[in-house]
């Protein structure tokens, strides 16, 4: 069953595309900052993340990356193709950022990070397609 255009009704195409581009730029910025990530930011945050949450952050970044890309692609070509293209594009972005980190000072690409990126993209795909299987007519 194809995902109808109504799944993104009310969202301006410019807003959908702009949000996807802005989020992608933010992901690139966060994952390609030279150094140890948050420690190199101009102002340090008053809190630190517990050890091991790096993979959770990667998963969440790519969950929302997939979500924004889906809304953007669904404006252009409604249907399951939009969802599959969004998942594929997010996984490609994850692979590119992990590879690019090999050349960024004090950063290193990680297969475990890439797996977390893929898991986040796939989780979003399952979440977006779930209402369709249940017979719902809308995706929030």
Token readout for 115 is: 């797996």
pLDDT of residue 45: 54
Q: Where are the domains of the chain?
A: 25-35+50-140
Low-confidence ranges of the chain (pLDDT < 50): 1-6, 39-40, 136-140
Residue 36 to residue 125: CA distance in whole angstroms = 30
90 within 8 A of 65, measured Cβ to Cβ: yes
Q: Is the pTM of this model over 0.85?
A: no
d(Cα 53, Cα 9) in Å, to the nearest integer? 35
- Asked if residues 94 and 117 have their Cβ atoms less than 8 Å apart, the reply is yes
């Amino acid at each position: 069953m194809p995902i109808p255009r109504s799944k993104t009704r009310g969202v301006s195409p410019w807003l959908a595309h702009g949000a996807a581009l802005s989020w992608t730029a933010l992901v690139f910025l966060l994952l390609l900052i030279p150094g140890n990530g948050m420690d190199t930011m101009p102002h340090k945050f008053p809190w630190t993340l517990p050890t091991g949450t790096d993979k959770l952050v990667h998963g969440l970044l790519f969950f929302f990356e997939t979500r924004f890309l889906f809304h953007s692609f669904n404006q252009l070509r409604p249907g399951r193709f939009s969802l599959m293209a969004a998942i594929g594009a997010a996984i490609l972005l994850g692979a590119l950022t992990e590879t690019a980190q090999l050349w960024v000072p004090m950063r290193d690409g990680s297969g475990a990070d890439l797996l977390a990126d893929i898991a986040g993209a796939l989780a979003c795909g399952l979440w977006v397609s779930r209402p369709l299987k249940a017979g719902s007519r809308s995706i929030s």
